[in-house]
Amino acid sequence: MNERLMTKFKAEDPNFYDNIVWKESKSIPFDRATSQSRKSGHVTSKVPAFVKIFEQNDNSWLWDELDDEKSMPPATVDAEGKLRDACTRTLAAIKLGIPVPTYVPPGCENWTEEDWRAYQAQANNHKICTPNTDEDVVYYIETNKKYLEKNIVGSPFPADKGKEALKDWTDKLYKHLTVNEDKSPFWRFPKDKNWVVKKIKKVYVATLEEEEDGSGIPYHNPTDREAIKEYKSTTGWRGTGVGMAKASGDIVLRICKGKKRFMPNMIGYAMWNQLNHENIQTDMVFWDDDVLGATPIDILENCTQVYEDFNLAKTKTNGISSFRNLYRMPQIKSGKYFDGDDLILMDGEWYEETKKTIANSRTTQKTGASEDKKEQKQMPLVAVA
């Protein structure tokens, strides 16, 4: 319990002080797993400091019912008497053999372990004890991820439902974690929103990647090494890596991870090579390294846009004549738009087929939306007596 929670309980419980029970410190059961919610367990490094504080207070817990400024919040225990907060202070009390004031939050007999972890995260925000660390925030999300999906956001992590759906989902969880003064476990946490949202995504992506039932991340995010290996296997190229220094003969390999990097990065590299090496040709392997939240059609549209830019640069007068072939790494791992397992040549035939696939998908979406509206219009009115 911290000062803010103590003030809250005093306002809600008219018998707050009467419900404080002093217990022998060694008699209070507690453990590393459920008595606190911290990545690294009990903060034992702070125990000596609290021993000193208690010694300076005549070997007793700081307590004054008439003056909160002179009091240290009591330890929280559950309905069965198990310690649920104030582990560092209790460890200090055990060293001195002094009693500990304990308090049972009203209604906690109905709390789940997830409820307790949320409470513990709130209680960790102390003035004089150890506040929540970056690792504590990540640990809280990791240990409560299913609960947060079901009970807070109300839906599974949207790895492939569109960028807006992903943004709405992470925004909702971020607000739960940090914004609400009464309910957020990390209210006033000092890191900004971007930091918290990145940690949310990292935890859920790692979780989905570990799924064994095939329901994990639906896309593959390749590495440079994978791309080079696939390119060499497909083309027979004998270079050793990316750039002029690792080229083979007159063929230079470039890797483009995202359409935003095509211009100016890929254009600049190819233009410079062309100016300095008359016969050089550039092959490019593309994939999108920011596919989290994207739909399969989003990925395919990004690929067609890169093809259009590549082809324009290649064919335009005074353009980059050194551009030769454009490839893409397979990323869509299953379903209707499955990419297969092999490197894909993005040529004119691929482009036309992919544009048809995108157009058919958009038509299907519009038809489905129109049918939904039509069905809503045809619903009979119900008379109200």
Question: Where is mean pLDDT largest: 45-54, 232-241, 290-299?
Answer: 232-241
Q: Read off the pLDDT band of 381 (50, 70, 90).
A: very low
pLDDT at 324: 93
Sheet holding 21-24, edge to edge: 21-24, 99-103, 75-76
Cα separation, 81 vs 12, whole angstroms: 21
The answer to whether 135 and 40 are in contact (CB under 8 A) is yes
The Cα 68–Cα 268 span in angstroms is 66
pLDDT digits (tens, 9 = 90+) for 77-92: 999 999 998 888 889 9
Looking at residue 127, its pLDDT comes to 56
Question: For the chain, how many residues are written?
Answer: 385
Residue 245, sorted as left (phi over 0), alpha (psi -120 to 50) or beta, turns out to be alpha
Report domain extents, the chain: 3-112, 135-209, 224-370
pLDDT at 316: 80
Least confident of 57-61, 83-87, 303-307, 361-365: 361-365
Q: Could you tell me if 217 and 205 are in contact, meaning their C-beta atoms sit under 8 angstroms apart?
A: yes
pLDDT band at 383 (very low <50, low <70, confident <90, very high): very low
Could you count the other beta carbons within 10 Å of the beta carbon of residue 266?
Answer: 23
Q: How many CB atoms lie within 10 A of CB 62?
A: 17
Angle 195-147-335 from CA coordinates, rounded to 5°? 80
> Which amino acid, residue 252?
V
Is pLDDT at 268 greater than 60 in this prediction? yes
Whole-structure pTM over 0.85, yes or no? no
**317-364: pLDDT as tens digits:** 677 888 999 999 999 988 899 999 999 999 999 999 999 999 998 887
Residue 101 makes CB contacts below 8 A (sequence gap 6+) with 20, 21, 22, 61, 63, 74, 75
Say yes or no to pLDDT of 283 above 90: yes
Average pLDDT, the chain: 84
Mean pLDDT of 185-200: 83
Strands (E) in the chain, as ranges, are: 21-24, 75-76, 99-103, 251-257, 281-287, 323-328, 344-345
Tokens of 37: 């919610």
In the numeric block, the tokens 């750039």 are attached to: 243
Cis peptide before 218 (omega within 30 of 0): no
Asked if residues 76 and 105 have their Cβ atoms less than 8 Å apart, the reply is: yes
**The two structure tokens encoding residue 341:** 């397992």
Alpha-carbon gap, residue 113 to 108, rounded angstroms: 10
Across residues 103-111, what is the average pLDDT? 92
Residue 385's pLDDT band, with cuts at 50, 70 and 90, is: very low
| Integer CA distances (angstroms), 328 to 50, 131, 325, 358, in order | 60, 47, 10, 17
Report the distance separating Cα 374 and Cα 326, nearest Å: 44
pLDDT band at 374 (very low <50, low <70, confident <90, very high): low
Structure tokens at 104: 């049972």
Which DSSP letter does residue 147 get? Answer: H
Confidence of residue 290 (pLDDT cuts 50, 70, 90): confident
- Whether residue 367 is predicted with pLDDT greater than 70 in this model: the reply is no
Domain at 3-112, CATH from 2.60.120, 3.90.1530, 1.10.3470, 3.30.499: 3.90.1530
Lowest mean pLDDT: which of 105-119, 292-306, 362-376? 362-376
Task: Give the pLDDT score at 379.
Answer: 46
Task: Say how far apart CA 205 and CA 213 lie, in whole Å.
Answer: 15
pLDDT tens string 202-240: 888 877 766 555 456 788 889 999 999 999 999 999 999
